[in-house]
Chain A
Amino acid sequence: MRNLWTDEDTVEFSIPGDRNVEVLGTLRDDPDLAFFMLADAAAVDYGVDAHFEVVYHLFSWKHPGWLRVRARVDRSEPRIRSITDMWEGAMFHEREMYDMMGIVFEGNRDLRRIYMSPDYRSFPLRKDFVLPDDAADSPAAGVNPLERPETWDLSHFREAVAVTFPPSDLRGDAPGEGVEGGDFADSESRPR
């Protein structure tokens, strides 16, 4: 998916993820380039076997067309440096990218979920996200077991369904139990 066609009024190039601050800083500060405005920051998931990309669109008075900078992010360890020091308005962009894709922005002071509720444990815009009804045992699930009735252990029902309390050590091996592990300390929804 790297050498796709691009619309003619946008210049784009691709960088490795760890150089994003450097490249964007140069683009902004260099007086001939002067890309003073961050128009958009988006994240793209290229598939379960491929990588993520964080895509920045920039604007400058001196150049016709938009500039697209695509920063590759590794899918197994999705971390990239935050650009909130350069543009404060990137905060909500990054929070949304974290919420929807699970990309962790290092240096972002407020990396929490913005659209989904704070105890949500999946990343909806990933390509392997499935809603709980559809997927019994999806590897990406991180799904709240309370949404999957087959995991309800109704013989101990007083303990099973305290609404926000994940029943990690309270039940035996219900079917589907070992999927994302019963151990919520490893949940993906909190940044490390």
Chain B
Amino acid sequence: MTRTDPEPRIPDPIELDAAEEARLRAAAGLVPARPESGGEYAGFDQVGIPDRPPQTDREREVYSLDEGEMLINMGPQHPSTHGVMRLVVKVRGEIIVDIDPVLGYLHRGIEKLCENATYTTVLTYVDPMDYLSTMHNEHAPAIAFEKLYGIKAPPRAEYIRALVVELNRVFSHGLMMGFLALDMGGLTPILYSFINRDEIVDMLSAISGQRMLFNFFRVGGVNWDTNDEFLSRLGTWRSRVLKNIEMNEDMITGNEIFRSRTIGMGTLTGDQAISLGVTGPNLRASGVPFDVRKAKPYSIYDELEFDVITHEGGDSYSRYLQRIAEIKQSIHLIDQIIDKMPHGPVQAQVPGIIRPRPGRAYGAVESPRGLYSVYAISDGGPTPYRFRMRDPSFISLQALPKLMPGRLVADTMAVMASLDPVMGGVDK
């Protein structure tokens, strides 16, 4: 830095008076702070709405107000969960006319970071993307990198991977139940969901050492084998889980208030869902039987017996029921995995810094939110050339502006909770 002044002082913009501010804005090519002629574009009067000309057609459409409409900011700080996201909602009275999600509050530049990290380090960088389904976040890159490197993980490793992945799915779906009720005002189901999650997370911490960002997968297998602590906790949990889930379910599923707020809300038809790119339980609740574990089996899923569950209806209630059914399906899968798990090593022999052959690979897994995939390009060096993650929450969020117009503001949180986005994944 080449400062010569002894005490450079950066003034507060408030010190500029109106004339100077107007001059600076004009010089910068920004429009005046107050329109000379009354425009319909709302950007000048509303706090928090961009005070610059609309850049795109859609932006002009959203931010122009007709008679009786108003822009409300459901700001980045939410009392509801899901993370930091801003929804600019255009309402007429109580009815939503349009929604514009503003993202990027949690953007950490993971894709760029991964271009400068070795392949094993990449597996730690992707953990906090969709932080409620960490194992899936690691599974997809592990598949892609193993394809690039040309190895397969040993069978026991694949079984352990499937086990932890299904455990992760159980607690993630369980949490969705809790969040859905919480967003509607029911205070108790979320705590019951956290009981379930706590038991699973204690179990996973026995096997991986972490409670949330597990860092368990490696290229070529998993890092540690199961141990006594893990197995004993698994047994205890397994004997209690169905009762736990049913206890939580009883409080929510039959509840008349809950039903009247979710049945018929946010209905997504199968075609709409496919066109919007929605995948996962949201898509299956609209009737399309697309499950990556069946459609493009990876790991050991072709050796396990399960059906693809779908629900007709496509509304929030169906999505909720879909997730409960998937919890039960995952528990059934866990039983099969425990039965069939072979002995053997849990990690293939790979060097510390792997240098896969130059090439392209695509690895896709079924995460609790949908199709989670990684597209990796290697140039032969120690770090990936391009590391791209496709996050399902990001794409499912596009359904929100299509589902909400015509509904009440109070339904926004309920419908969003039923789509179950996690902002870490949305913002990467």
Contact = CB atoms under 8 A, between A and B. Distances in A.
- Direct chain A–B contact by Cβ atoms under 8 Å: yes
Interface of A: 1, 4-10, 12, 36-40, 42, 44-45, 55, 57, 59, 61, 64-66, 68, 87-93, 96, 100, 109-118, 124-125, 129, 149-150, 152, 154-155, 157-159, 161-166, 168-170, 175, 184-185, 190-191
A151 to B, nearest CB: 10
Interface string B18-31: 00110011011110
Interface stretch (B5-13, B216-224, B249-257, B412-420): B5-13
B421 to A, nearest CB: 12
Interface string B50-82: 101001111100000000000000000000000
A161 B276 CA distance: 43
Given A37-B290, A163-B13, A168 B27 contact: yes
Contacts, number: 165
4 pairs of A and B residues whose beta carbons are closest in the complex: A89-B277, A5-B359, A110-B58, A115-B104
B385 to A, nearest CB: 8
A118 B3 contact: no
Interface of B, helix, strand, loop or mixed by DSSP: mixed
Given A42-B375, A92-B398, A118-B50, A109 B29 contact: no
B390 A40 contact: yes
Nearest to B51: A164
B373 A39 contact: yes
Nearest to A4: B359
Nearest to B275: A88
A190 B11 contact: no
Contact of A165 (B2, B27, B359): B27
Nearest to A185: B29
Contacts of A190: 55
Given A6-B360, A37-B290, A184-B28, A55 B111 contact: no
B395 interface: yes
Given A6-B360, A118-B55, A158 B386 contact: no
A92 B395 contact: yes
A168 B23 CA distance: 12
Contacts of A184: 28-29
10 contacts: A4-B359, A9-B296, A55-B375, A93-B395, A118-B50, A154-B8, A158-B20, A159-B20, A162-B16, A166-B28
B57 A124 contact: no
Contact of B296 (A42, A65, A150, A170): A65
Contacts of B129: none
B5 A112 contact: no
Given A39-B373, A157-B9, A115 B27 contact: no
A4 B11 contact: no
Interface in B297-336: none
Contact of A6 (B16, B55, B361, B364): B361
Contacts of A37: 274, 277, 279, 290
A7 B147 contact: yes
Given A44-B386, A124-B112, A157-B10, A89 B398 contact: yes
B171 to A, nearest CB: 26
Contacts of B24: 159, 162, 165, 170
